[in-house]
Each structure stands twice: as C-alpha cells, then as structure tokens.
C-alpha cells in the first residue's frame, strides 16, 4: 500500500543528473546556488532557440507532446504578422493526484524553469511572463524565485512577471483554462477552441508550455545539442521526469535517460515483481499488462508501441491482490467529478461511464459492458478541452487490459479480490477547494435553488441548463425539490430561474455557507481501506 504522496516526495536519478543537478546539495536551489550548479546562461535569438529545440526533438512534457520548435515559430510569426508583443506562460498546474514531477521542479529548481521561460521571452520580445500554479508550496517557491531575480509585475518593469494561482482541479491544467484565468475569468476551458499561439493571454500570441519543457530547454541551451544528445535515445535524447506511485514501497519522482527499461524504474520504487498491470501516463493514460512491462522502455515512442502512454509522466503499478476494475472505477468516478460541468458529453457522459463500470462490477452483464463502450465512444472529441478524451481513453484501456477480470465480472460472480485503493486520489475523491487568490468558483456553495411544485409543469429546461443540480425522473419532473448550487454553476442557476417557462424556480442565499477554511489547501491522498489518510 502506498504512503501519502507529498508535494515533494523522494527524488532519485538514474545516471548523471540534469534537471535534478544540485538536489544532493540543498533542498531548494536559490539563485546563487542555481548559478553555482548550472552556470550562467547566454541569450539566444528566436530562430536559434527554435533550431535548438528541433535538433533535440524537444516536445511538451505536459502530456500532449507537441513539438516545441513548431510552437515557438508559430508564436513568433503570429506576433510579427500582427505587430504585437507575445506572452510567455509556464504551465505549472499539476492537478492529478499521482503527478508530482513539475511540483518537484518548481519547489526545488525554480530558476531552471525561469531560465527557459526568460530565454524565450527575450528572444521573442515578450514583455509579460506568467507562471500558473495550483499549490501553496509552488506559489511560494516561484514568487521567491521571481523576487530573487528582481522580477515583478510593476507597470514600469521591462518584463512584467507574476504567478497565477488557480484551484486544484483536473481541468485547471488545460492551456485554455490557464489563459482564461490569467485574463480574469474562471479557470475552466471556454466554449470554443482557439490556438494560444494565435490568440492567448489578452488576445496576444502566447507561448504556453509545461514547466519541465522550459527546464529541458534551459539545460540544452547551456550544454548544446551535441552534449544533450549524448544522453538517452538518438531520436528522443535527454532525460525525463517520472512520478512513480501506486503499489510501490517508495513513491518517488525519478529522472531517467530515455531508453531505460520500465522494469528497472519499477524495481527502484519497490513495485511488485509481477504487477497485475501498470498505468502509464496518469489518469488520462493507458494500462499495460505485466508481460508488456518487460518490453517497454522509457520513451514516448516505445510506450505508444506497446499500448501505453508517456503522457504526464506518471507510472502506477498495481499488484495481484486488488481488483483492477475496482481500482479503475475509483479513478473513473474522480474523473467524472472533475468535469467543468459545461459540456454535455463530459458532465453527463463521464458519470454515465463510471456508473456503467460500477454496473459491470455489480453483475450487470454484457449489457453493462456494451453501455460503457458506447458512452466512452460518444464523449470523444466533443468537449471544450481534452478531459473527456483522456477519460475515455483511460476507460477503454481498462476494458482492453484486464480482459480476464472483465470476463469474471461480466459472465461470472466477479474476480473475488477486494479493492485496496492503491491508486492515489485526493481525500474524499476530490481536490481541495476554496483556494485563496484564485478559483473562488470552487468555494463552498452560497446559494440554494428551490422548485415550487405548485407551479412546475415538467418542461425539463432546468435539467438542460443546470445538470449539476437537476436530473429528471421517469415522470419527467426534477428529482430534487431543493439543492445547493456549486459556485462554478451560479450563473447557470440564475439563467435556469429566468428561463423556466412556469416560473417554478427560485434562488435563496444559503446563510449557512461557511467561509473557506484557513487551513492549507494541499492535497491529501486516500490510503485505501483500513489506512489513515496522512496529511502534508
């Protein structure tokens, strides 16, 4: 059973450290120590940076894996064409319960990330730099790093730099969500997809990438493409950061050269010798079985070839003594709860998929299995962000990877194993809410909505507008008479009241609503059955 995963777990390295250089000397590299360990960094031109990124085949390390050189050139061309200054955004949001690699980098090597971001800002003539975070520890570390460099958000600053703190939610990490929050809106995706490279923060072309991506760029800029290419695979040079948790003796963040066998990484963390399966890429990733683990090496291409995914760099093995479908159900339920609640295929489809998987576990038979497959298929490519796509990929991978267990549940009386809860989730399955300084839409409810049954005629419009609160029963009428309205859905609640044809809805302020707790908002991971949840 895995222990709680703190913001900064144990850090290990295979081979020579690059991103983690100096971690054996101090807990956090401030600017003087950073310069002692890594040395100074000379400015580079925009095309020079793009060529460097292309030569080392640098791809985004946040999950999507988009080539960084293409993003650089796209932003620069858009800025020149429009005659505006671009914006640089570092995405340090890391809101999956099993991911900590970027959090470790921001907490222990923030200046390495800033090196890469400032290289890009200077090369493209950007005058705005924003670092998006979601945790108190990462906010403190990055704000301290900006102060150590004399950077601020003052109007007279040559480069205005600041930290944007958002709520800990799965959808917060989406690029569109971060940009929307920087512009003063809620940290959820907008209803339409627009390329940040063309129109991002304030409508300006925006270079947005993951924290590790900027750190990798800083390493390559210092040592050059030849030395950088001496580590790892020829077509995917360098190192990667992985977060290894699940059924391991020592959860850790580990820096490894590409090409290292996945089996070796699992052994370092104390995983079972023959895991029942390994979830690769995090909760928007894919399962691989025990036989496939021996074939896989740490690289984006290799993991794809064996049916896995590098994704956000999370690796989670499970042992033979837990039900893999039950473990996956816990994740599926969490993914459903993490919906932004604004796209029907997501906020209706993902809960339906989770219920379908639960039906399979409860003996629903072939009909339940077909229902899950159909729902997973229907939610793809129909949302404002990648959350429904990633969640559907996880569900489909679960059904494909554990066929024996699936048959036992669908055709028999189940696999007979308990669910031990080895895949980490936030306490109560949810991320902390009420984050100060950003994300008030996730605080405690301030409103209640009521149905006046003397007026309600069962038009059903309330369920269409406010599905977070209302569902229709078999008779076509709402199934609740009163309910709390989530903060992020308050505007929709007002719209539901105004558009109700029978004027049967009303909103009242909830006087019992508590102010957000003054306690820290760092995540606490569930420890499964019979285990006490450990704090920070």
Give one DSSP letter per residue of 421-486, joined into a string: --S--BGGGS-----TTS-GGGS---EEEEE-TTT-----HHHHH-TTT--B-TTSSBS-SEEEEP
- What sign for the dihedral angle of Cα 425, 427, 430, 434? negative
Mean pLDDT of 96-103: 94
- Please state, in angstroms and rounded to a whole number, the distance separating the CA atoms of residues 422 and 257: 27
Burial label for 373, CB within 10 Å (0-12, 13-18, 19+), is: middle
Minimum mean pLDDT among 280-284, 441-445, 516-520: which range? 516-520
Contact 388, 340 (CB under 8 A): no
Residue 514: the pLDDT is 44
The CA–CA distances, whole Å, from 160 to 88, 99, 115, 163, 535 equal 11, 29, 15, 11, 36
Q: pLDDT-based confidence at 444, cuts 50/70/90?
A: low
pLDDT beyond 80 at 123: yes
Residue 477: the pLDDT is 86
Question: How many percent of the chain have pLDDT more than 90?
Answer: 64
Residue 358: the pLDDT is 92
- Please state, in angstroms and rounded to a whole number, the distance separating the CA atoms of residues 381 and 227: 40
Q: pLDDT-based confidence at 524, cuts 50/70/90?
A: very low
Minimum mean pLDDT among 116-125, 240-249, 257-266, 338-347: which range? 338-347
- What sign for the dihedral angle of Cα 252, 257, 261, 262? positive
277-280 and 314-318: which strand pairing?
Answer: antiparallel
> Which tokens hold the place of 39?
């040395």
Residue 403: the pLDDT is 93
pLDDT beyond 90 at 468: no
Mean pLDDT of 355-373: 90
DSSP output for 36-88 = HHH-------HHHHHHHHHHTT-B-SSSS--BHHHHHHHHHHHHHHHT---EE
Residue-wise pLDDT for 38-54, tens only, equals 999 999 999 999 999 99
- Please state, in angstroms and rounded to a whole number, the distance separating the CA atoms of residues 398 and 283: 11
Mean pLDDT of 455-476: 84
Residues 6+ apart with CB under 8 A from 233: 258, 259, 299
The position carrying tokens 């906010």 is 139
> Which tokens hold the place of 215?
């750190």
Mean pLDDT of 354-377: 90
List the one residue out of 131, 133, 126 whose CA is nearest residue 159.
126
Residue-wise pLDDT for 156-179, tens only, equals 899 999 999 999 888 898 999 999
Burial label for 191, CB within 10 Å (0-12, 13-18, 19+), is: exposed
Residue-wise pLDDT for 385-422, tens only, equals 889 999 999 999 999 999 999 999 998 888 999 999 99
- Please state, in angstroms and rounded to a whole number, the distance separating the CA atoms of residues 117 and 109: 13
Q: What is the helix (H) or strand (E) element at residue 207, kind and residue range?
A: strand 206-210
pLDDT beyond 50 at 430: no
Q: pLDDT-based confidence at 214, cuts 50/70/90?
A: very high
Mean pLDDT of 76-98: 95
User: Alpha-carbon Rg of the chain, whole angstroms?
Assistant: 24
Residue 158: the pLDDT is 94
């Amino acid at each position: 059973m895995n222990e709680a995963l703190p913001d900064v777990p144990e850090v290990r390295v295979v081979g020579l450290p690059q991103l983690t250089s100096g971690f054996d000397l101090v807990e956090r590299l401030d600017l003087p120590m950073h310069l002692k360990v890594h040395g100074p960094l000379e400015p580079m031109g925009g095309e020079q940076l793009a060529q460097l990124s292309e030569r080392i085949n640098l791809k985004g390390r946040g999950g999507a894996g988009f080539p960084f050189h293409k993003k650089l050139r796209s932003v620069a061309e858009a800025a020149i064409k429009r005659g505006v200054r671009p914006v640089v955004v570092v995405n340090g949001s890391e809101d999956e319960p099993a991911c900590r690699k970027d959090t470790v980098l921001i907490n222990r090597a923030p200046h390495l990330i800033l090196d890469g971001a400032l290289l890009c800002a200077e090369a493209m003539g950007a005058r705005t730099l924003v670092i998006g975070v979601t945790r108190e520890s990462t906010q403190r570390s990055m704000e301290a790093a900006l102060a150590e460099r004399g950077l601020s958000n003052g109007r007279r600053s040559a480069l205005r730099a600041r930290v944007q703190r958002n709520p800990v939610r799965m959808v917060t990490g989406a690029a569109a969500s971060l940009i929307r929050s920087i512009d003063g809106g809620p940290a959820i995706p907008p209803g339409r997809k627009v390329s940040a490279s063309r129109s991002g923060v304030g409508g300006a072309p925006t270079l947005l990438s993951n924290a590790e991506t900027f750190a990798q760029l800083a390493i390559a800029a210092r040592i050059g493409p030849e030395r950088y290419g001496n580590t790892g695979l020829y077509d995917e040079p360098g190192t990667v950061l992985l977060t290894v948790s699940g059924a391991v003796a020592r959860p850790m963040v580990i820096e490894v050269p590409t090409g290292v066998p996945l089996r070796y990484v699992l052994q370092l963390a104390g995983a079972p010798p023959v895991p029942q399966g390994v979830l690769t890429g995090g909760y928007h990733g894919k399962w691989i079985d025990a036989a496939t683990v021996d074939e896989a090496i740490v690289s984006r291409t290799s993991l794809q070839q064996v049916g896995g995914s590098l994704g956000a760099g999370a690796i989670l093995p499970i042992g033979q003594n837990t039900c893999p479908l039950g473990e996956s159900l816990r994740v599926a339920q969490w993914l459903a709860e993490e919906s932004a609640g604004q796209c029907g295929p997501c906020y209706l489809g993902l809960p339906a998929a989770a219920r379908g998987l639960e039906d399979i576990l409860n003996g629903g038979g072939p009909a339940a299995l077909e229902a899950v497959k159909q729902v997973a298929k229907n939610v793809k490519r129909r949302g404002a962000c990648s959350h429904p796509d990633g969640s559907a990929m996880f569900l489909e991978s679960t059904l494909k990877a554990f066929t024996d267990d699936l048959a036992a549940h669908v055709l028999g009386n189940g696999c007979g194993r308990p669910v031990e809860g080895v895949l980490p989730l936030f306490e109560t399955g949810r991320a902390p809410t009420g984050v100060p300084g950003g994300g008030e839409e996730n605080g405690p409810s301030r409103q209640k909505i009521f149905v006046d049954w003397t007026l309600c005629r069962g038009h059903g419009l309330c369920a269409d507008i406010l599905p977070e609160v209302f569902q229709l029963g078999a008779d076509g009428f709402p199934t609740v008479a009163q309910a709390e309205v989530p903060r992020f859905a308050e505007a929709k609640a007002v719209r539901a009241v105004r558009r109700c044809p029978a004027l049967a809805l009303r909103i009242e302020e909830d006087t019992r609503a508590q102010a957000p707790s003054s306690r820290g908002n760092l995540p606490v991971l569930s420890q499964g059955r019979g285990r006490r949840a450990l704090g920070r």
